[in-house]
Chains A and B, each alone.
Chain A
Amino acid sequence: MNVIDLLITIIVVTILVTIALGVMTYIAYKLRLARRPSQLSDDSSTAQYFVLHEPPDGSEPGEADAT
């Protein structure tokens, strides 16, 4: 195998292996997500992703939080 053929082989293998690695790492990421506890304690069908924080009535900007 001459140098040109070797380089071609390296390039093709790199492309295919990188794409395969990307797919496998993505699958591994999804499996890790499935095993990890969710950050949200309640994930019901009506759950929103975030709970909107409402400052208490009568609070004013610039005051230190007492909690």
Chain B
Amino acid sequence: MDVVSETRTQGPWTIVALEGELDLHTSPEVRDHVLGLIRDGADRVALEMSKVTFMDSSTLGALITCMKRAKERGGTVVLVGVEGSPLKVLNLTGLDRVFEVLASTEDLPDDR
């Protein structure tokens, strides 16, 4: 099953909706998709994760790779709607302080 379910734009943001379980097997799909978007010019990427039910440290690595690439190009990657076990992983690893975590896509700032 694909874990990238939808990609859409909202103002300056490219929103990537994810779903299902993210691990060593599935997180490369997310990384490659987001890196492709950044390569194609997306500088603000929001990962909508309210339907992600599981996330491991492989995924954290993939997210960090995406964030680094976005920063190199003056952009950013934010996480939206992280709940449950995935939020616990972010908290335990301290990455909740690295990534901006928003409750909803409505919270994405629309200024450039």
The finding on whether chains A and B are genuine partners in a shared complex, rather than unrelated, reads no
Q: Which residues of B contact A (CB under 8 A)?
A: none
